Amino acid sequence: MTLRVLCIFLLSGWLSIYAAALPIPENGPALRIQGSNTIGADLGPALVEGLLQQQGLLKIHRETPDTANEQRIVGQTAQGQRVIIEVAAHGSSTGFAALKNASADLAASSREIKDSELLALQTLGDLKSPAAEQVIAIDGLAIILNPANPLEQLNTEQLARIFAGEVKTWEELGGRGGAIHLYARDDQSGTYDTFKELVLSRRGKSLGSAAKRFESSEQLSDAVSNDPQGIGFIGLPYVRQAKAVAIADGASQAMLPLNSLIATEDYPLSRRLFFYLPPDIQNPWAQALATFAQSPQGQAIVATSGFVSQTVQAMSVAPNALMPEGYQSLSRHAQRLTVNFRFAEGSASLDNKARQDLARVLDYIKRNGKTERAVTLVGFGDLKDDPARADLLSKLRAMAVRRELVKNGVVMREVRGFGALMPVATNSADEGRIKNRRVEVWVY
């Protein structure tokens, strides 16, 4: 499917669910979901409930079996037939393992599929294809402290040293409280995988052996909020009574895990939440759930569940002295949309989330009457070689997005490139450089 056809498909009815009722099996669950605890604790079940309601089912409720972190969401047809969807939330890696042994129809993951998993599951089809890899929400890993801890910000280098056990006391960070107590999710957790990838592994470090490990996000957060010497990492909805601190990465400004900074994925510890659907073994309930999750109704449930929805909104940006003058001028006269276009690794092609976002941005532009010279695209790059090359590539990336918008009837106001200025991540690693290669959308 071409990007243009995909956008037309998404915009017609905006990801509407199949009109026909979904088939109901005579025996067993209609859908089996395994994977991320971050998704499976509440967001996944809430999306399932929304789908069941849209399918016209009655008496929708949750049942909790004896096994921890597992649920059944149950509805009933008008004829009294039960429809059961099972959700097991034991960590992202368990979802891919369940796809492999055919004990799940859909994997919920709070991290991107690994190359090793992609290879192991290749008999099920390409799980990196746009139809298979569905970004359903954006989350931010919050670094949490006890509310009485006076520390306000940390950088990712400090985080790596803290959680590796190299920084042992709060006094070494300019705080107070004595020995640092570490709290972390368990090895099956996508939250832990994300933290390991974004913070520890990038600096050649491993989690300190003294860290207390948790399968439950809620229990970890409550443990930190009750420990004056504690520090932990957690998904955004699970901050609860703890205190989140601002995080900087490389030359980026320190950022709190605010919804607007997570929606654009500028916040250093932002992450994507995924559904993975085997394209060669299709369960219609899995396809319908992924489609529902992408719809405005599904994204409203994402927001209600405490995550950051992908619904495009315009936000004002206050100019400051750290911005280049051209960017300050833009921020005085226009509003930025809550989306960044990013690109597939080693490619000038939009990644799977950007393909979904293109449809959302087009929908926003057309609904708000901004198709005629009201949109400015702003590209950014990374300082890998020289500033002149970064300037050129930043504008070329913006031009790549421009081409797709123009195909769909948008007359641009301006396309600009700011090179390697205003990084949102460190340029000393490939992952950071990929994040800095982005295109913002501004509207007048």
- When pLDDT is cut at 50, 70 and 90, the band that residue 436 belongs to is confident
Phi and psi angles of residue 319, each rounded to the nearest 5 degrees, phi first: -65, 145
pLDDT for 35: 97
Model confidence at 1: pLDDT above 70:
no
Tell me the HSE value of 131 on the side-chain side, using a 13 A CA sphere: 16
Average pLDDT score over residue span 140-166: 96
Query: What's at 243, amino acid-wise?
Result: K
Architecture of domain 140-261: 3-Layer(aba) Sandwich (3.40)
CA distance 291 to 132: 11
Average pLDDT score over residue span 109-138: 96
Block residue for tokens 């592994």: 201
CA distance 109 to 287: 16
- When pLDDT is cut at 50, 70 and 90, the band that residue 2 belongs to is low
Q: Judge if 140-261 and 313-443 fold alike in CATH terms.
A: no
Model confidence at 339: pLDDT above 60:
yes
| Residue 61 CB-density burial (10 A; 0-12 exposed, 13-18 middle, 19+ buried) | exposed
Structure tokens at 381: 């790059």
- When pLDDT is cut at 50, 70 and 90, the band that residue 349 belongs to is confident
The H-assigned helical ranges of 234-367 are 259-263, 284-294, 296-304, 325-333, 352-367
Percent of the chain with pLDDT over 90: 76
Query: Chain centroid to CA 398: how far?
Result: 22
Strand bridging mode 212-214 / 181-185:
parallel
Structure tokens at 166: 């190299």
The closest alpha carbon to 257, from 249, 248, 267, belongs to: 267
pLDDT tens digit string along 41-62? 999 999 999 999 999 999 999 9
Average pLDDT score over residue span 124-136: 96
CA distance 422 to 309: 25
Query: What's at 22, amino acid-wise?
Result: L
Phi and psi angles of residue 226, each rounded to the nearest 5 degrees, phi first: -100, 0
Block residue for tokens 């690109």: 343
Strand bridging mode 438-443 / 246-248:
unpaired
pLDDT for 122: 97
Phi and psi angles of residue 419, each rounded to the nearest 5 degrees, phi first: 55, -135
- The more confidently predicted of residues 111 and 425 is 111
Model confidence at 72: pLDDT above 90:
yes
Q: Where are the domains of the chain?
A: 13-135+273-304, 140-261, 313-443
Arithmetic mean of pLDDT over the chain: 91
- The more confidently predicted of residues 4 and 292 is 292
CA distance 411 to 97: 47
Model confidence at 19: pLDDT above 60:
no
Q: Is there a contact between 399 and 391 (Cβ–Cβ < 8 Å)?
A: no
Q: Is there a contact between 216 and 37 (Cβ–Cβ < 8 Å)?
A: yes
pLDDT for 5: 45
Architecture of domain 313-443: 2-Layer Sandwich (3.30)
3-state secondary structure of 360: helix
Structure tokens at 72: 């059944």
- When pLDDT is cut at 50, 70 and 90, the band that residue 17 belongs to is very low
Query: What's at 183, amino acid-wise?
Result: Y
pLDDT for 205: 97
Average pLDDT score over residue span 68-76: 96
Model confidence at 432: pLDDT above 90:
no
The pTM for the full model equals: 0.83
The CATH number of 13-135+273-304 is 3.40.190.10
Contacts of 121 (CB under 8 A, 6+ apart): 96, 99, 100, 127, 278
pLDDT tens digit string along 171-218? 999 888 899 999 999 998 888 988 998 899 889 999 999 999 999 999
- The more confidently predicted of residues 435 and 12 is 435
Percent of the chain with pLDDT over 70: 93
What is the full DSSP assignment across 133-150? EEEEEEEEEEEEE-TT--
Phi and psi angles of residue 192, each rounded to the nearest 5 degrees, phi first: -65, -45
Phi and psi angles of residue 318, each rounded to the nearest 5 degrees, phi first: -75, 125
- When pLDDT is cut at 50, 70 and 90, the band that residue 350 belongs to is confident
pLDDT tens digit string along 354-410? 999 999 999 999 999 999 999 999 999 887 667 788 888 889 999 999 999 999 999
The closest alpha carbon to 100, from 76, 79, 125, 83, belongs to: 125
